[in-house]
Amino acid sequence: MRKQSVFLVVYGVISAFIAFLAVIFICLRTLHWSLPVAVLVASIFALFFFALSWFRGHASVEIKRIASKYHLSDKDLAEITGMKASDFPIYNNKLQLILPKRYWPKILDALQKYEQERM
């Protein structure tokens, strides 16, 4: 669990850093804003991208953890989430999340409800 939380933080920090650099250069070079305003706007974007990346990483880890814990097949995942079995390919006993990331909260919510029912 510790390894996963470190991964989530590192993933979020890298994403935030890239967003910060991109926005700071856009604000300074293209929009010709002052440095304090550019840093403020870039910091807000960096916080947003950190949160977004952290949640995506968290959702991925949780979905895979629940699927692994309960030995769910692609058909089981499709039944629980109401999606197609082909949306959940499993290679080498590992779930591959090929669905667009916008569906991950829906999948995570369905699997967490499934986990609550099983407890």
Q: What is the pLDDT of residues 62-112, one digit of tens each?
A: 999 999 999 999 999 999 999 999 999 999 889 999 999 999 999 999 999
Assess contact for 88 and 95: CB atoms under 8 A.
Answer: yes
Assess contact for 88 and 82: CB atoms under 8 A.
Answer: no
DSSP β-bridge partners for residue 91: 94
**Taking phi first (over 0 means left), then psi (-120 to 50 degrees means alpha), and beta for anything else, what does residue 106 get?**
alpha
pTM of the model: 0.84
